[in-house]
Amino acid sequence: MTYVADAIGRRPGVSQPSALPPVIVSRQTASGRVAMVLFLLAVVALAAMPWWAKTGTIRMVLELCCYIAVAQMWNMLAGYAGLVSVGQQAFMGAAGYALFVLAQTFGVNPFIAIFLALLVPLVLAVPCYMLLHRLDGPYFAIGTWVVAEVFRLVASNMGFLNAGAGMSLNVMKEYSLLERNIAMSLLCALLILVTIGGSYWFLRSRYGLALIAMRDNPVAAASQGVNVPRLRFMIYIAAAVGCGLAGAIYSMAQLRINPPSAFDPMWANVAIFIVMVGGIASIEGVLIGATIYFIADRWFGQYGASYFVVLGVMTVFVALYARGGIWGAVSKRWDVHWFPIRRHLIYKPEDKA
């Protein structure tokens, strides 16, 4: 709620020192309003891609949307919940395989199977967190990587999943190119709306305030009544489902899945690069970092290992000398917020008689 208060936070009706000017407590900024309009227009543009973009462009935009979604889920884990994971590809691969099994083996409509497939990462994330939540710091990160490798090895040895040979989504041949493009475009828009819009809504809620308090000081947050274990569990489950949605959409676009591609650790590397370079604990940083990575991948991906070395050095440099990332430096210099989640004090001039 926005209300007028004095500089020490008292509301109207309370005797106020005349020397202190009144202020407005606001949760929105001018740049935030503009960004919200642009965000909604971007979602509409994604949904309308079949009518303004070619098939190749749609595939590239879909890949960018998956980068954004996975990076934002990692950002919620590491940037807010303090859970550094390098194994989110486990849930991407699980949802991708679930989609292929439902659509190809059981004949479920593939566009409905995408949402049914999210039940798999949702269910798997619960025992995984129960196993990992006792670990802390680097041990938690190593544990998540081990879980992802276990998922990959299980998929590689299950005859039901065609083992290491993988599966093809032949049922997509029943749909025309236009129908597939429309479906992919709508799924892109939904993916961004759920991961970016959903994260923004969550961070502005009372749970978001508790999450920020927990990020800054878990012990102090717990002393003020924040249920730290439950909140971390919620974020872990939500991140698993978000990554699962991105994995299912990406696998559908590829029309084929196998264990090495489904559980590719490169997804974790990409997410870490995007968040660290763009700006950890900020939605704006994810968008900036994903754009940088996408452009760099298109321009310099042909150089192979040398290209990844440069990205790694860039990540280390940012971590050492600009811990807030690019967006951290920008917001500190100009005090702009595209997705504001904190309250701001705006001084209100006093009326003169």
Q: Considering the chain, what is the average pLDDT of its residues? A: 88
Q: State the helix-helix crossing angle for 55-74 and 228-254, rounded to 10 degrees.
A: 160
Residue 191 has pLDDT above 70, yes or no: yes
Does any domain span residue 303? no
Residue 150 has pLDDT above 80, yes or no: yes
The amino acid at residue 133 is H
Distance of alpha carbon 161 from alpha carbon 97, whole angstroms: 8
> Which residue spans within the chain are E strands per DSSP?
3-5, 23-26, 167-168, 256-257, 344-347
Tokens of 15: 């005797």
Does any domain span residue 296? no
Does any domain span residue 41? yes
pLDDT at 75 (0 to 100): 96
Mean pLDDT for the stretch of residues 92-114: 96
pLDDT at 12 (0 to 100): 52
pLDDT at 243 (0 to 100): 97
Residue 303 has pLDDT above 90, yes or no: no
pLDDT at 316 (0 to 100): 87
Q: Among 44-48, 191-195, 230-234, 315-319, which is the least confidently predicted range?
A: 315-319
Does any domain span residue 50? yes
Tokens of 183: 């479906």
Does any domain span residue 155? yes
Residue 224 has pLDDT above 90, yes or no: no
Distance of alpha carbon 196 from alpha carbon 318, whole angstroms: 23
Does any domain span residue 258? yes
Candidates 186, 181, 183; CA nearest to 55 is: 181
Distance of alpha carbon 344 from alpha carbon 29, whole angstroms: 8
Tokens of 98: 């679930």
pLDDT at 8 (0 to 100): 44
Distance of alpha carbon 169 from alpha carbon 249, whole angstroms: 12
pLDDT band at 9 (very low <50, low <70, confident <90, very high): very low
Does any domain span residue 346? no
Mean pLDDT for the stretch of residues 287-303: 89
Distance of alpha carbon 299 from alpha carbon 293, whole angstroms: 10
Which has the higher per-residue pLDDT, 258 or 329? 258
Q: Domains in the chain: how many in total?
A: 1
Residue 1 has pLDDT above 60, yes or no: no
Structural domain harbouring 209: 30-264
Is residue 350 classed exposed, middle or buried when 0-12, 13-18 and 19+ CB atoms within 10 A define those classes?
Answer: exposed
Does any domain span residue 175? yes
